[in-house]
Structure formats: structure tokens, C-alpha cells
């Protein structure tokens, strides 16, 4: 028996087995499509690649376009290639890739951004396709296997598959025989719509509350396709001196919280975002003296394997295995017995839901584009207008965590100035996370614990602890000017000078650096 037939144990689906190329006639321009996948893991590959090649070979660029609804980013060989071929009209809610970002920022692709937990539920509510009754035309789902009853065993992520199979008119299943079966790793709870929505009864990261399979209506399945493509994964981001320093400040903070009795000795469930700082923080935990740790998060990066290997991580709950193509996934597969039994993969609507995040008391740590002196953060839009990837799940965790930490380098270089961008500004050019959500701000310069502080006190601490010395004098001057002016007007709760608040960002646009000479706005806006 072929590997494909071993994986597809539901015999009624055998007659639906076909090649990826045979599915092309099912797709019509303008369709609403749902894909599996989350932070490039568990996404369909064979069918999207076949469609891209069809468009490329037949000169259909811009003539065969689709609306894509995916849990988060997927591999560049699929979505980003589609963007290059002008195959994407609308895209929700998070993406990665040079071509798709260019398409969004040039107005060719209509992207919408949303907290990921809310995207998952709103997709099932039919909000994104309400003009056509709330359904999707086709869902394309990567699976490890299909059991005898037609239940889907997913692969390296869960994403919004539970929602897609509920609202899609038709389903195409991609059975990935190019990697081991992940049967048993998933915990699927199919949430009902209000007023019948059930509680999410997770009391610890290792709790199982659902089944290992996604139930589907077999009559929706129009094709079953074999795929041998492995995930491209998320490239590992190397740590540097700045990220190591940030990690050190966070480790010191956690030790002080344990000493003060505000955290247990094994901390609380960890949530960590992606990137070099997140890797450094997890690396710090792997080298540190906290034991019996647990993780409740949305993505597991390569450094989580280090944390398992250190013997300090007991269990991890996630939405996806966001490992690198090399060495992450090969390392995971080579040590399957060590890791697989200690990991649960959950649907996005569960992994990012506010209810378990608050109940478990997660420690949330995420990297924004910039923060400001009053503890707002911008995670999405450079200069307030240029979309990078999207909000992702950072807000789900930061808004609901026991302690919400945002970390960023104090400065970033420009083409002409190695300290050209201050990542701490008077006012963020766009706000994704408000002052009401954030507790701790960290740069390589230091850590500002702003819990219990009024806005003006927060500003002083953030400037003192987090701002680079090159920018501290000008930032202190701004705060003093704004405070005097606003208190005089009896508007001084959170002082700002709106004719000057964005001068650093404006100077960056015009002169390639935020290192302004003064706050004078009378002669030249960007003097």
C-alpha cells in the first residue's frame, strides 16, 4: 500500500485523489479562499504552487486573483509568489514577504489587520465575506492524515482550520507525505458561535480539552492531493549584543519578581514573540536557573528546542511549530520522541484566546517597531503608514497577560547614521498597544517597570532607563517643555506638544536621522 493510502484511511476519499494540476479548474478568479498555515508552518504547497505555475505559463498575471484568508504568514514559495504574479486581491490578517508587502504598500493588495484571536472568530462569524453570505468558496488544508471517520490530523500548525472547514463550501486536502505524521499532537476544540459559545477550560498549558482531529463534512471534499513539500519555516534570527543585554534585563526582572513574591519560582507560562530578542530571552531561560517552566504561546521557534534540551521546560502549548527549515525542523524530526510528547498544537482561536491567557497568567514578551514615553507601542506601521507584517498575536497576549513586556533596541541605524532611529519617541506614529496594556518597557539600556505609575512618572522612567544617551537630552527637554505648557493650560495629565510630537519622525523622512538639533518649529519644520 502506498504511503498516501496509509495516510488517507477514510476509504470514501480515495476516489477524490488527484494531482495538484487537476485541481486548477476548481479555481475561478475572485474566489474567497481559506488556507491552513501559521507563521510559515502547516500551509498548503502543492496546490498553490500549481496555480502559480498555471498563471505564469498562461500569462494570467492580474487576471486570476483571489481573496486569501489565512491564520498568519505562509511560505514565500506560495503566497509571496502569488503576490509577485498579481494573484492576490484581498489578504487577511498577517503576512510575510517582500512582494506581498510591496503589493500592500503600493495599493495593489487590499490587506486588513486584526488581532489574531479576533480574526479567527470573526472569520467563522462570516464578517469578512458577509457580501456573499459569510462563506468561503474553497478551503485548502494541509494534513498529516485522515482517519477512518474523515477527521483531519493536521501538520505543523492549526491556524484557522477549524473555522475554514466550518464555513467553506468546498475543501481540498493536501496530504503531506514528505514529513512524518503529526497525529496526536493537536488538540482541537470547535467553538460554537454566540450565544452557544462554550468556555475554554484550560487550567495549565498541558491540558487537553478537545480531540486530535478536525471533524469535517466529507461531502465538501472535492480533491485529495499528495504533497511532499516540507515547510520553509521561519529563518532563525541570530542574537546580538543588544538582544543579549535586553534578555539580561528581563531575567533580572523576573528574579526580582520572584524575590518579591509576585511570581512563583518556576515563573508563569511564557509567551514569546519572534526575532532575535525573543531568541535571546528564551536562550537566557535555557542558561538560567528557572526550572519546571511551561510555555503557552502561538509560535515555537528553534530556541524552544534549546529550552527543552536544557531540562528546564516541562511543556509547551502553541498554535504552530515555527521552526527554521534548517536546522530547526531536521533537529525536531531527528529527536521526535524527546519533543513531540511535550508539545500541544491548538487552533488559533484557542491558543490566542484572552480567557486562558488571563487564567494561566501568561508572561508576554513582544518586539514592537517603536515605543513612546507614555508606554504606547507600534507593532505594524513604519512611519505610521508602511505595513510590515501585521499585528499578529502580540495584542492578544499583551492585553491579557499577567505581566506585559515589550522589548526593542534603543536605536536602529539608517543608511547615513548608525544611531539614526530612536525606537523611543515622544509619540508613536501609530499605536497598536496602548498605555493601558503594557507593564514593562525594555531596551539594551535598561528596563522601565511602569506598573502603578502616572503618565508623567512613566515618561521620566522610560527616558531614564530605555532611551539611548544620544537622545536623552532632547527627550528630557521635550517632556519638560510639554509639561510646562500643558500644566499651564490645565491639560497636563499626559503632556504633548502636537506641533512638535512627531518632529523626530519628520526629520527622519527628510534628513535620514532622528537626531534633531532642537524643538524649534518656527523656521523649518525639520531644522
Q: Which of 79, 163, 298, 370 is catalytic?
A: 298
pLDDT digits (tens, 9 = 90+) for 68-99: 999 999 999 999 999 999 999 999 999 999 99
Average pLDDT for 281-305: 94
CA distance 502 to 509: 11
Q: CA–CA distance from 379 to each of 39, 88, 434, 519 (Å)?
A: 16, 24, 11, 26
Q: Is the pLDDT assigned to residue 460 strictly greater than 90?
A: yes
Based on the residue annotation, tell me whether 77 is a catalytic residue of this protein. Answer: no
- Residue 238 has a pLDDT of 75
Average pLDDT for 325-334: 93
- Residue 527 has a pLDDT of 47
CA distance 484 to 478: 10
Q: What percentage of the chain reaches a pLDDT higher than 70?
A: 98
pLDDT digits (tens, 9 = 90+) for 144-194: 999 999 999 999 999 999 999 999 999 999 999 999 999 999 999 999 999
Lowest-pLDDT range of 137-141, 278-282, 436-440: 278-282
- Residue 343 has a pLDDT of 98
pLDDT digits (tens, 9 = 90+) for 99-118: 999 999 999 999 999 999 99
pLDDT grade for 375, boundaries at 50, 70 and 90? very high
Question: What's the grid cell of residue 35?
Answer: 488556507
CA distance 447 to 468: 12
Query: First vs last Cα of the chain: how many Å apart?
Result: 75
- Residue 1 has a pLDDT of 53
- Residue 524 has a pLDDT of 52
**Mean pLDDT, all residues of the chain:** 95
pLDDT digits (tens, 9 = 90+) for 398-409: 999 999 999 999
CA distance 319 to 344: 8
Q: Is the pLDDT assigned to residue 230 strictly greater than 70?
A: yes
Average pLDDT for 433-441: 98
Average pLDDT for 364-377: 97
CA distance 521 to 527: 8
Look up cell 488527484; give the residue: 18
pLDDT digits (tens, 9 = 90+) for 471-483: 999 999 999 999 9
CA distance 44 to 97: 17
Q: Is the pLDDT assigned to residue 523 strictly greater than 80?
A: no
Q: Which long-range contacts does 77-84 make (Cβ < 8 Å, 24+ apart)?
A: 77/45, 77/49, 77/229, 77/232, 78/43, 78/44, 78/45, 78/48, 78/49, 78/52, 79/43, 79/48, 81/48, 81/49, 81/52, 82/48, 82/51, 82/52, 83/109
Domains of the chain (ranges, CATH numbers):
3-227 (3.40.1080.10), 241-469 (3.40.1080.10)
What b-and-e string marks burial along 294-313, b requiring 16 or more CB atoms within 10 Å of the CB?
bbbbbbbbbbbbbbbeeebb
Report whether 174 contacts 227 (CB < 8 A).
yes
What b-and-e string marks burial along 129-158, b requiring 16 or more CB atoms within 10 Å of the CB?
beeeeeebbbbbbbbbbbbeebbbbbbbbb
Spatial CA neighbour of 65 closest among 78, 46, 82: 82
Average pLDDT for 307-334: 95
Helix (H) or strand (E) holding 7: helix 3-7
Spatial CA neighbour of 36 closest among 83, 10, 65, 75: 75
SS (H, E, C) 51-110: HHHHHHHCCCCCCCCEEEEECCCCCHHHHHHHHHCCCEEEEECCCCCHHHHHHHHCCCCE
pTM: 0.95
- Residue 217 has a pLDDT of 97
Amino acid at each position: 500500500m502506498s504511503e498516501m493510502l496509509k495516510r488517507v484511511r477514510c476509504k470514501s476519499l480515495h476516489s477524490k485523489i488527484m494531482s495538484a494540476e487537476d485541481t486548477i479548474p476548481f479555481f475561478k478568479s475572485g474566489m474567497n479562499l481559506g488556507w491552513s498555515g501559521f507563521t510559515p508552518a502547516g500551509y498548503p504547497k502543492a496546490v498553490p504552487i500549481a496555480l502559480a505555475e498555471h498563471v505564469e505559463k498562461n500569462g494570467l498575471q492580474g487576471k486570476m486573483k483571489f481573496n486569501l484568508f489565512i491564520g498568519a504568514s505562509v511560505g514565500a514559495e506560495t503566497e509571496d509568489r502569488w503576490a509577485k504574479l498579481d494573484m492576490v486581491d484581498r489578504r487577511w490578517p498577517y503576512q510575510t514577504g517582500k512582494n506581498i508587502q510591496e503589493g500592500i504598500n503600493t495599493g495593489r493588495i487590499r490587506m486588513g489587520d486584526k488581532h489574531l484571536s479576533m480574526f479567527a472568530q470573526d472569520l467563522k462569524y462570516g464578517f469578512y465575506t458577509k457580501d456573499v453570505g459569510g462563506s468561503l468558496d474553497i478551503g485548502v488544508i494541509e494534513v498529516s492524515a485522515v482517519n477512518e471517520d474523515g477527521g483531519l490530523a493536521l501538520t505543523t500548525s492549526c491556524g484557522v482550520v477549524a473555522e475554514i472547514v466550518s464555513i467553506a463550501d468546498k475543501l481540498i486536502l493536501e496530504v503531506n507525505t514528505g514529513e512524518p505524521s503529526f497525529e496526536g499532537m493537536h488538540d482541537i476544540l470547535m467553538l460554537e458561535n454566540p450565544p452557544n459559545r462554550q468556555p475554554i477550560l484550560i487550567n495549565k498549558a498541558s491540558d487537553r480539552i478537545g480531540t486530535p482531529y478536525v471533524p469535517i463534512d466529507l461531502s465538501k471534499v472535492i480533491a485529495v492531493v499528495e504533497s511532499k513539500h516540507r515547510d520553509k519555516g521561519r529563518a532563525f534570527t541570530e542574537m546580538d549584543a543588544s538582544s543579549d543585554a535586553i534578555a539580561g534585563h528581563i531575567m533580572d526582572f523576573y528574579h526580582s519578581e520572584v524575590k518579591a513574591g509576585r511570581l512563583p519560582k518556576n515563573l508563569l507560562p511564557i509567551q514569546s514573540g519572534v526575532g532575535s530578542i525573543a531568541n535571546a530571552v528564551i536562550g537566557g531561560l535555557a542558561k538560567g536557573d528557572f526550572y519546571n517552566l511551561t510555555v503557552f504561546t502561538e509560535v515555537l521557534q528553534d530556541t524552544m528546542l534549546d529550552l527543552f534540551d536544557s531540562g528546564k521546560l516541562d511543556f509547551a502549548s502553541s498554535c504552530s511549530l515555527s521552526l527554521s527549515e534548517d536546522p530547526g525542523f531536521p533537529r525536531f524530526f531527528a529527536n521526535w520522541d524527546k519533543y513531540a510528547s511535550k508539545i500541544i498544537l491548538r487552533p488559533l482561536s484557542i491558543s490566542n484566546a484572552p480567557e486562558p491567557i488571563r487564567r494561566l497568567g501568561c508572561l508576554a514578551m513582544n518586539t514592537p517597531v517603536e515605543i513612546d514615553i507614555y508606554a504606547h507601542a507600534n507593532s505594524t506601521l513604519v512611519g505610521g503608514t508602511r505595513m510590515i507584517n501585521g499585528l499578529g498575536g502580540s495584542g492578544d497576549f499583551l492585553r491579557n497577560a499577567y505581566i506585559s513586556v515589550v522589548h526593542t533596541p534603543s536605536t536602529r541605524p539608517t543608511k547615513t547614521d548608525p544611531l539614526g532611529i530612536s525606537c523611543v519617541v515622544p509619540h508613536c506614529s501609530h499605536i497598536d498597544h496602548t498605555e493601558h496594556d503594557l507593564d514593562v518597557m525594555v531596551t539594551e539600556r535598561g528596563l522601565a517597570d511602569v506598573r502603578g505609575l502616572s503618565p508623567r512618572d512613566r515618561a521620566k522612567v522610560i527616558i531614564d532607563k530605555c532611551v539611548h544617551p544620544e537622545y536623552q537630552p532632547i527627550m528630557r527637554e521635550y517632556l519638560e517643555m510639554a509639561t510646562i505648557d500643558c500644566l499651564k493650560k490645565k491639560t497636563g495629565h499626559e503632556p504633548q506638544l502636537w506641533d512638535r510630537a512627531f518632529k523626530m519622525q519628520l526629520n527622519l523622512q527628510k534628513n535620514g536621522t532622528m537626531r534633531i538639533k532642537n524643538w524649534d518649529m518656527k523656521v523649518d519644520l525639520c531644522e
